[in-house]
Amino acid sequence: MIRFNQKEQIFHLQTKNTSYVFCISDFNSLEHLYYGKKIPDDNVKHIGNRQIYGHVAHEHREKREFNASVQGFEIAPFNSGDIRTPSVIYNCDGNVDCNRLRYRSHQIYKGRKQIDGMPYSRESEDTETLQITLTDDDNQVEFTLFYTVFQNVDVIARHQTIKNTGKTNVTVQKFASACVDFYGMDYDVITLEGMYIYERAMVSRNRIKRGTFKNESLTGTTSHCKNPFIAICSPNADEEMGEVYGFNLVYSGNFSEEVSVSFLGDTRVLLGISDVGLYWTLKPNESLCSPEAVMTYSNGGIGQMSRNFHDHVRQSIIEKEFVYSARPIVINSWEASYFAVSEDKVLELASSAKDCGIDTVVLDDGWFRPHDKQGLGDWRTDKERFPSGIKGLADKIHAMGLKFGLWLEPEMVNENSELYKTHPEYVLTTSKTPLISRHQYILDLTRDEVVNLIADRISQELEGAEIDYIKWDFNRYATEAGSFKTAQGEVYHRQMLGSYKLLAILKQRLGKALFETCCGGGGRFDLGMLYYSPQIWTSDNTDPYARVFIQNGTSVAYPVSTLSCHFTRGDCTSGRESTYEFRYNVASFGSYGYELDLSEYSSEDKKMFKGYSEKYREIEDLNLKGDLYRIISPESGSFCAYMKVSKQKDKAYLTFLELNATGFVESTTLRLKGLDPDKQYKNEESGVVLYGSTLMNVGIRIGDLFRKKRSDGYSVLFTEVKK
Ligand code: GLA
């Protein structure tokens, strides 16, 4: 609900459990007052208007004590008297002028307006928007701030536009989507740190005392190393208790996020597209729109913050059509045969698929090239290895009663391709001798003609083929990114807009296909991609021991159904062995599939795989719709444990994994989470019936869980016993 208190000039944005309050100040700026647990009052002005003598000029001519740098602001332009880190920097005709932004008008309406050309949180029945216009009359610049409230899931989304309403050019050099000020400085910052084959595996926590903490990606993607999710929390916050403010961007390119503690001990959170290299020129009448930022508040610790974001992603980011539907159980050809794939090989995989409970056969890289040195940009099927073409193969797979999926990497071109030879100017570069990575360049998607050309080539090649699933890959970072056509300071963001355009066109042309995005594993795992693809390939690292960390970190911000997780040989990245059961227990964390050469496995093995697929289908509704409770983080020592609980709390799935053989496993007690204390639950394996309250307080002894091998880990279903 959004209220405007006319008398006090206060905006109060309320969700089910939170309040976000700000006012129009005496000088018509937007002064932030409060964000946190829901409060009934609108008028909390007493908390603002703080007076501390400073040396900065301001508009309170008579009040020496007024200091803009201790007020909270909703937007904080550079050079405005607030000497903290600014949220926007723009200049007019080359001058960074004093940017006095004045409130002009606002509207409150049900629903929301869509953001053209960019992903955003989709409207549902709980959605309401506050739109505020501010102007800088000296420079004739207009800002519009959008606050969209998603009441049921405790999420507020923000974005803004800047418009040049004058007669000279305006240049934008920093343009955060959101600025959120907090009074006080008692916060830890949580980020998801990682690297290639270890994406988001390190949930990192830093105490910010003074100065600025920056979470930033400059790779042209959100990257393997960084993620746009960021949170601040009270130092005592853990999974279950304490205050946590979570933030994320609905964006997949370069981003900058800052948490800074000012000299006076207040905290400012900024998040948006990266300002590094940003120099965006707005001619008269032109405007620029920021990506959307989302934020949530939890006073139930990190776990509740995660669940708020999970609900939001499912309600408003993922397409309705896919979000709660059973996902394909795939067999993917990559780890089965890498580039040595052929029609025969795919048909061979398909012939065993049903025996393993698999319903979708995915042809990965290799269908238009024998290695990674050619093919991208031309996308011509290798007719020697795929004599029936993609359409023919898809038909054969469908005739076997299976679905067909295909790998694509549309944003790239190999040096050794017809496209690059005829159009070397179509790649992103600032040099005549562009830098190459994995033998490929990134296509210049800031140019519409390139976007359209790629879309046409790929659709021509796939003409008539019925494709049920697309794996959309992106296998290098941007380096020396420039364009032969687009202004340098606009390249990175325009490139991202081009990628979104291409995704939208091909999604539309490929009709019913479910898209899974990928980026050399999980290098573009973000809300921007989830808008187009309900699931993302989490990592090229499928060693289950490493995956536990990767999946645990990723789940802090993203619902488990968005993590694509495959049962594989498990040893490809590490050489480490693991049992089948352990691999299943880890891979069933998310959307489950296989990546194996099935011809190497016996019929006994296949029977086991079938059993796993069936077991997964039994708990899939918990993955798609349930709540995640992390019980033991793998980072805390030798174990990892988590539960998925249905919203009705009538069904729950516990997974316990031992990562490191220790002596004390026998006596360790595990207290379950998320159950209804007053309901009785049956352990579907042992048949023991206990109250939720008993399971959550007394717990169970881990030693009792291991009737099988400790190295298998353990998963069990609990179902409500109706009285
Ligand atoms: C990336 C993906 C892999 C596979 C290869 C193909 O690395 O993450 O799963 O698709 O590309 O080249």
**What count of Cα atoms within 13 Å lies in the side-chain half-sphere of residue 611?**
10
Q: Say yes or no to pLDDT of 357 above 90.
A: yes
Q: Which of 154, 378, 540, 543 is catalytic?
A: 540
Q: How far apart are CA 547 and CA 539, in angstroms?
A: 8
The reply to whether ligand 1 has any atom less than 6 angstroms from the CB of 406 is: no
Specify the residue with its C-alpha closest to ligand 1, atom 11: 520
Q: Where are the beta strands (DSSP E) in 364-421?
A: 403-408, 412-414
The reply to whether ligand 1 has any atom less than 6 angstroms from the CB of 367 is: no
For residue 365, give the ligand 1 atom closest to its CA: 6
Specify the residue with its C-alpha closest to ligand 1, atom 6: 365
Burial class from Cβ neighbours inside 10 Å (0-12, 13-18, 19+) for residue 525 reads: buried
The reply to whether ligand 1 has any atom less than 6 angstroms from the CB of 273 is: no
Contact indicator for 330, 286 with CB cutoff of 8 Å? no
Q: How confident is the model at residue 94 (pLDDT cuts 50, 70, 90)?
A: low
Place of tokens 């998607």: 445
The per-residue pLDDT for range 158-186, each reduced to its tens digit, is: 999 999 999 999 999 999 999 999 998 78
**Mean pLDDT over each residue of the chain, to the nearest integer:** 95
Contact indicator for 29, 101 with CB cutoff of 8 Å? yes
Q: How far apart are CA 172 and CA 282, in angstroms?
A: 8
User: 521 alpha carbon to ligand 1 midpoint, in Å?
Assistant: 6
Q: Which of 181, 473, 627, 712 is catalytic?
A: 473
The pLDDT of 188-201, averaged and rounded, is 98
Residue 382 annotated to the active site? no
For residue 338, give the ligand 1 atom closest to its CA: 6
Contact indicator for 140, 164 with CB cutoff of 8 Å? yes
Q: How confident is the model at residue 96 (pLDDT cuts 50, 70, 90)?
A: low
Q: How far apart are CA 121 and CA 602, in angstroms?
A: 46
Angle formed at CA 412 by CA 408 and CA 414, multiple of 5 degrees: 105
Place of tokens 């194996």: 596
The per-residue pLDDT for range 540-571, each reduced to its tens digit, is: 999 999 999 999 999 999 999 999 999 999 99
The reply to whether ligand 1 has any atom less than 6 angstroms from the CB of 475 is: yes
The reply to whether ligand 1 has any atom less than 6 angstroms from the CB of 714 is: no
Q: Say yes or no to pLDDT of 716 above 90.
A: yes
Contact indicator for 382, 367 with CB cutoff of 8 Å? yes
Residue 184 pLDDT: 83
Q: How confident is the model at residue 98 (pLDDT cuts 50, 70, 90)?
A: low
The reply to whether ligand 1 has any atom less than 6 angstroms from the CB of 364 is: yes
Q: How confident is the model at residue 654 (pLDDT cuts 50, 70, 90)?
A: very high
The reply to whether ligand 1 has any atom less than 6 angstroms from the CB of 311 is: no
The per-residue pLDDT for range 294-321, each reduced to its tens digit, is: 999 999 999 999 999 999 999 999 999 9
Report the residue among 406, 518, 547, 550 best suited for mutation to probe ligand 1: largest number of ligand atoms under 8 A from its CB: 518
Query: How many CB atoms are located within 10 Å of the residue 459 CB?
Result: 14
User: 548 alpha carbon to ligand 1 midpoint, in Å?
Assistant: 20
Specify the residue with its C-alpha closest to ligand 1, atom 7: 520
User: 390 alpha carbon to ligand 1 midpoint, in Å?
Assistant: 19
- What secondary structure letter does DSSP report for 21? E
Specify which residues 517 forms β-bridges with.
472, 536
Residues of the chain with CATH 2.60.40.1180: 631-721
The reply to whether ligand 1 has any atom less than 6 angstroms from the CB of 473 is: yes
321-625 placed in CATH 3.20.20.70: yes
The per-residue pLDDT for range 494-532, each reduced to its tens digit, is: 999 999 999 999 999 998 999 999 999 999 999 999 999
Q: Residue 385: in which H helix or E strand, if any?
A: none
Q: What is the pTM of this model?
A: 0.97
Share of the chain above pLDDT 90, in %: 87
Q: How confident is the model at residue 349 (pLDDT cuts 50, 70, 90)?
A: very high
2-317 placed in CATH 2.70.98.60: yes
Q: How confident is the model at residue 95 (pLDDT cuts 50, 70, 90)?
A: low
The per-residue pLDDT for range 38-70, each reduced to its tens digit, is: 999 988 988 887 777 777 777 766 666 777 888
Report the residue among 224, 407, 470, 524 best suited for mutation to probe ligand 1: largest number of ligand atoms under 8 A from its CB: 407
Query: How many CB atoms are located within 10 Å of the residue 535 CB?
Result: 28
Report the residue among 197, 341, 473 best suited for mutation to probe ligand 1: largest number of ligand atoms under 8 A from its CB: 473
User: 520 alpha carbon to ligand 1 midpoint, in Å?
Assistant: 5
End-to-end Cα distance, the chain? 39
Report the residue among 197, 221, 224, 334 best suited for mutation to probe ligand 1: largest number of ligand atoms under 8 A from its CB: 334
User: 46 alpha carbon to ligand 1 midpoint, in Å?
Assistant: 56
User: 445 alpha carbon to ligand 1 midpoint, in Å?
Assistant: 21
The reply to whether ligand 1 has any atom less than 6 angstroms from the CB of 537 is: yes
User: 150 alpha carbon to ligand 1 midpoint, in Å?
Assistant: 36
Q: Read out DSSP for 436-504?
A: -BTTEEEB-TTSHHHHHHHHHHHHHHHTT---SEEEE-------S---SSS-GGGHHHHHHHHHHHHHH
Q: Read out DSSP for 251-290?
A: --S-EEEEEEE-TTS-EEEEEEE--TT--EEE-TT-EEEP
Residues of the chain with CATH 3.20.20.70: 321-625
Q: How confident is the model at residue 579 (pLDDT cuts 50, 70, 90)?
A: very high
Residue 520 to residues 525, 536, 660: CA-CA distances in angstroms?
A: 11, 11, 28
The per-residue pLDDT for range 402-432, each reduced to its tens digit, is: 999 999 999 999 999 999 999 999 999 999 8
User: 519 alpha carbon to ligand 1 midpoint, in Å?
Assistant: 8
Q: How confident is the model at residue 97 (pLDDT cuts 50, 70, 90)?
A: low
Report the residue among 339, 364, 373, 539 best suited for mutation to probe ligand 1: largest number of ligand atoms under 8 A from its CB: 364
Specify which residues 717 forms β-bridges with.
653
Q: Which numeric CATH code is attached to 631-721? A: 2.60.40.1180
Residue 207 pLDDT: 94
The reply to whether ligand 1 has any atom less than 6 angstroms from the CB of 540 is: yes
Residue 185 pLDDT: 73
Q: Residue 716: in which H helix or E strand, if any?
A: strand 714-721
Q: Say yes or no to pLDDT of 636 above 90.
A: no
User: 264 alpha carbon to ligand 1 midpoint, in Å?
Assistant: 49
Residue 142 pLDDT: 97
Residue 61 pLDDT: 67
The reply to whether ligand 1 has any atom less than 6 angstroms from the CB of 170 is: no
Residues of the chain with CATH 2.70.98.60: 2-317
Q: How confident is the model at residue 666 (pLDDT cuts 50, 70, 90)?
A: low
The pLDDT of 118-144, averaged and rounded, is 96
- Tallying the residues shown for the chain, one arrives at 723
The reply to whether ligand 1 has any atom less than 6 angstroms from the CB of 518 is: yes
Residue 41 annotated to the active site? no
The reply to whether ligand 1 has any atom less than 6 angstroms from the CB of 334 is: yes
